[in-house]
Amino acid sequence: MPNATDTMPGARTYGLLGYPADLATHAGRVGPLPLPARADRDWGGALIAALEASGLTGRGGAGFPAAIKATAARGKGRGGTIVVNAMEGEPASDKDALLMIRAPHLILDGAQLLAAVSGARSVVVCVPEGRDHVAAAAARAVAERTAARWAPVVETVVRPPDRFVAGEESALVGWIEGGQSLPAFRPDKSVPLRIGRKGALVHNAETLAHVAVIARGGPEAFRSRGLPEDPGTSLVTLSGAVSQPGVVEVDRGTPLIDIVSRATPLGPPQALLVGGYAGAWVAPEHFSTPYASLSLRAIGATAGVGVVVVLGHEACGISETARLAHYLAGQSAGQCGPCVYGLPAIADDLARLAAGHVDPGLPARLDRRLSEVEGRGACRHPDGAVSVVRSALRVFATDVHVHSRGTPCVSWDRPTQLRFPAPPVQVAS
């Protein structure tokens, strides 16, 4: 487990990190679940109002306002399921795993509160295969809560496969329902997800933890941190060319370079990868950009799943992006032609570029492929790959120029600064 640092010194008003892992201490510190004897519509309305006032948005990548999602589930969630998404398929992310181990009761309390709002009868916690220590922590917490009759709605822990797209909402719900972890084609996202005949509401683990703290402490504490237009805190996993990788809790709106400084970079970063492996590269001229939705969007990035990777100077952004593209190509669900064929082709083009193959048609071909693949999958997976590759071509334009003249990448043979979960798969030639 990487080192984790606590909330910034002096910020005692709001935070997720610092809560206890066991139920007894948790109960002693925050009291019982703030549920009335019968959770009626007024109570549900009050909780939604608190979430709306807080301005909480999803911390799982989509950034959707939590209040709107809860309101939508209200009519359709009766008898359904709250799905706790702790899948964290992003290889560079540890925040949900950390939170599940350090403060599982926050996450589960958040799920119980949303279950009361929507009338759900089941809470299903999803931890992927292979993350046994995280699953054990979740199971331990669930057992404590069951023994203490802490929560009204039954909680179970399930283990979907450990793949990048397995945490996508519809893939997760599809797996729970029928065992197939495949994203669904959803032209109309307002149609709710279902498990059987009943509605299913999927929320990222960190988002649920925020719900639990806001429900008890009120929206003002959340708003006391961050920005008016993007309030509260976020967990961010820092990795790459740093000496203290790990998970930090930051105010939304903190400049990127300040966030990164908490991991002690080994030198001035060459670039930052923000949002995850399907996120976007950020050049030094934008290092002071605030970590907030609108500011990041203005530079072509998003907060994504709460990941910032530091690229050191000895590395080549094109080589690293070629590795990212190959990883993402391998993680395709295999359902949609443009993703299945387009991503390996794009990855191949990048590999040729990094290897210094002179190919005058490559830039135009790569650009065409990126435009054609974007938006043509059932899920956002190909879009993420396009985003990271496009940003690389922009941020590392000098390297692109050098490589396209025939100079192979010097860091082609050096170990990568990024982490990849499984050993590479040999091509079938």
The site for other proteins (CB under 8 A) is made up of 182, 184-185, 187, 319, 322-323, 326, 329-330, 332-342, 344-345, 347-348, 351-352, 355, 357, 369, 372, 376-378, 412-413, 415-416, 424-429
- Tell me whether residue 43 or residue 420 sits nearer to other proteins (CB atom): 420
Least distance (Å) between residue 182 CB and other proteins? 8
| 251-254 own/partner pairs: CB under 8 Å, 24+ apart | 251/8, 251/11, 251/225, 251/226, 252/225, 252/226, 252/227, 252/290, 252/291, 252/292, 253/226, 253/227, 253/290, 253/291, 253/292, 253/295, 254/290, 254/291
User: Distance (Å, rounded) from C-alpha 210 to C-alpha 229?
Assistant: 17
Rounded CA separation 161/168 (Å):
12
Tokens read off for 222? 């959340």
Residues 6+ apart with CB under 8 A from 273: 92, 240, 279, 280, 281, 282, 307, 308, 309, 311, 388, 418
Q: How far is the CB of 368 from other proteins (least distance, A)?
A: 8
User: What three-state secondary structure class fits 282?
Assistant: strand
Residue 109's closest CA among 26, 23, 212, 24?
Answer: 212
> Closest approach of Cβ 341 to other proteins, in Å?
4
CB of 343 to other proteins, least distance (A): 8
Query: Shortest Cβ distance from residue 19 to other proteins (Å)?
Result: 39
Decide whether 30 or 336 has the Cβ nearer to other proteins: 336
Closest CB to other proteins among residues 11, 362: 362
E strand or H helix at 271, and its extent? strand 271-274
Q: Provide, rounded to whole angstroms, the least separation between the CB of residue 345 and other proteins.
A: 7
The token duo for 309 is 């990777």
Minimum Å gap between C-beta 362 and other proteins is 11
The Cα–Cα gap between 162 and 340 comes to: 19
CB-nearer residue toward other proteins: 21 or 184: 184
Identity of the residue, 131 or 369, whose beta carbon is nearer to other proteins in the bound complex: 369
Q: Closer CB to other proteins, residue 9 or residue 179?
A: 179
Question: Which C-beta is closer to other proteins: that of 158 or that of 182?
Answer: 182
* Segment holding 148, helix H or strand E: none
